């Protein structure tokens, strides 16, 4: 029996067979605001700048989950990873 997941963004149900990756897209992984989104919502959130990728751990986070203890170097802004 396939595990049925529910997107926390749009509410659509999906299985791992519907995912591009072998696992569902997780946002805010390792935090109390962790949630799973479908591939369509993930792509839309990425296009809209609603999520950012941590270059250190590779996880995806909403800006609200990121510590605003930031440092600017050139045109880049660095923040502590919430995970």
The reported pLDDT for the residue numbered 80 is 74
Question: Long-range contact list for 23-26, CB < 8 A, 24+ apart?
Answer: 25/60, 26/59, 26/60
34-83, pLDDT tens digit by residue? Answer: 999 999 999 999 999 999 888 888 899 998 877 666 677 787 777 777 77
Which of 10-19, 22-31, 45-54, 65-74 is predicted with the least confidence, judged by mean pLDDT? 65-74
The reported pLDDT for the residue numbered 82 is 76
SS3 14: strand
**Helix or strand holding residue 18 (H, E):** none
Please compute the mean of the pLDDT values over residues 13-42 and round it to a whole number. Answer: 93
In this model, does residue 4 exceed pLDDT 80? yes
**Which segments of the chain are extended strands (E)?**
5-6, 13-14, 25-27, 35-37, 52-53, 60-61, 70-73, 76-79
């Amino acid at each position: 029996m396939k595990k049925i997941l529910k997107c926390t963004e749009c509410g659509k149900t999906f299985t791992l067979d519907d995912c591009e990756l072998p696992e569902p897209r997780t946002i805010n992984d390792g935090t109390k605001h962790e949630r799973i989104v479908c591939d369509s919502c993930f792509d839309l959130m990425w296009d809209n700048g609603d999520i950012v990728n941590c270059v250190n751990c590779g996880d995806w986070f909403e800006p609200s989950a990121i510590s605003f203890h930031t440092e600017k170097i050139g045109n880049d802004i660095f923040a502590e990873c919430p995970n």
